Amino acid sequence: MGQSRRYEKILIAIFFFTWGTVFLGRMSALYLAPYFAPEFHLSHGQVGTVASVLAITWAVSTFFFGALSDRVGRKPILVPAVFAFSILSWASGLAQSFYQLLLVRALMGAAGGPAWSTMTALLEESSPSDRRGRNIGFVVSAAALVGLAAAPVLATQVAAHWGWRAAFFVAGAPGLVMTVLLWKFVEEPVAGSGIQEKPSLSEYISILRYRNIWLCCLGATAFMSWLFAVNVFAPLYITEVVHESATTAGFLLGASGLGSFFLGFLLPSLSDRWGRKPLLLVMAAMSSVVPFAFLVPSLYVYPLALALIVFVANSGQAIASVVLVLVPTESVPPQFRATSIGLSTLAGEIMGGTAAPILAGTLAQKHGLAETMWLAVASSGLLFLVALFLQETRPAHAATLAIKQIEPSVPERPDAVD
């Protein structure tokens, strides 16, 4: 970790606001669905498709450009990606039909995926092992503060006053500022970051040897199924089934997202001390409370109480830090960091971010919107099962065990010993 502590802090601050801006652009469409869906005469299934098309292009580009950045560097991928994503986020407000909106969101996904894998890999390379969980957790939690807490309130309020198109324009603007900051201040990792050599194309397949990679792919699927089932369909459930206003839905989702921000910073920091696996088990159990709470009709009589429940239970961004970044990167050799992030994200986005919203939309059409919340509860249960079989990767814990082992039987990276 050859970077100075001062640079580490600057990097964290820039990445925090950059990732928050990217997630603001991604999630705004979900909260604006009650506004543009009637104008375009969309079904629940089509609303799910709007989320799914971005997820699938995000998935492919995350893996492809993450692997490419392991060879050519992070910054040449990261800066253009954030710029393109911001322009396309703004352009969402220009769509005149469902298919135009679908095309723009697909292109957004292709631009947003590289930002995720390169940014988190670069931060992991620039963080000392004893602050890795804290730094990753803080940056990833920006998605909760901006994308899940501020976005539903901001998007619905702007849409209520000036229309949903104006809300997309507002969501796209901050990314242009962050592009300039990334270009000016972010540096490529120095030799001391742990990168040994650029991998050859034939070596990428080797990361499939690691059990944790397969489990992280399954865990990412469960997490993203939960994330998008809640955030795509909870606004519709609250407005159409419970018959609350769109601004009330925005308030409740905003409270949930704000809680995810605080837990997204706290829990990965605790995992630096207590381990990734036990914290993931706790987080999986907590996350199931959020969709279940939305299903309880009596809680809407006390909206502040419901907001408090989802505030303290939403561990989503902390889960993302652990299952999409920390465990994958700590389970493989250093030269495959971005590739490991890209692979777990690819699986999560394809199955959780793409298939799950389509499945949820189909369930909503046939059996009602309540089924989407039960799908989210089931996804949390699957994540809990995955966590039971993970190998601990916390560097201090794994290094201590590695010293005691004379002939390790599992070909894992030294800081990923069971």
pLDDT digits (tens, 9 = 90+) for 7-16: 888 999 999 9
Residue reference for tokens 């909870």: 234
Q: Where are the domains of the chain?
A: 5-187+211-402
pLDDT-derived band at 405, boundaries 50, 70, 90: very low
Q: How far is the C-alpha of 277 from the C-alpha of 413, rounded, in Å?
A: 17
CA atoms within 13 A on the CB side of 276: 37
Strands (E), 298-354: none
Closest CA to 22 of 52, 49, 62: 62
Instruction: Say what the pLDDT of residue 406 is.
Output: 37
Q: What is the CA radius of gyration of the chain?
A: 20
CATH number of this structure's domain 5-187+211-402: 1.20.1250.20
Q: How confident is the model at residue 193 (pLDDT cuts 50, 70, 90)?
A: very low
Is the pLDDT at 359 greater than 70? The verdict is: yes
Poorest-confidence range of 69-83, 191-205, 385-399?
191-205
**Phi and psi torsions of 73, nearest 5°:** 110, 160
Kindly report which listed range (4-18, 174-188, 346-360) carries the lowest average pLDDT score.
346-360
Contact 320, 91 (CB under 8 A): no
Listed range (159-168, 254-263, 321-330, 406-415) with the worst mean pLDDT: 406-415
pLDDT in tens, 305-341: 999 999 999 998 899 889 998 999 888 887 788 888 8
Give the pair of three-digit tokens for residue 250: 């925005």
> What would the pLDDT profile of 43-82 be if each residue is shown by its tens digit?
877 887 887 788 889 888 988 898 888 888 888 999 999 9
Question: Which DSSP helix (H) or strand (E) runs through 221?
Answer: helix 211-236
- The DSSP 8-state label assigned to residue 409 in this structure reads S
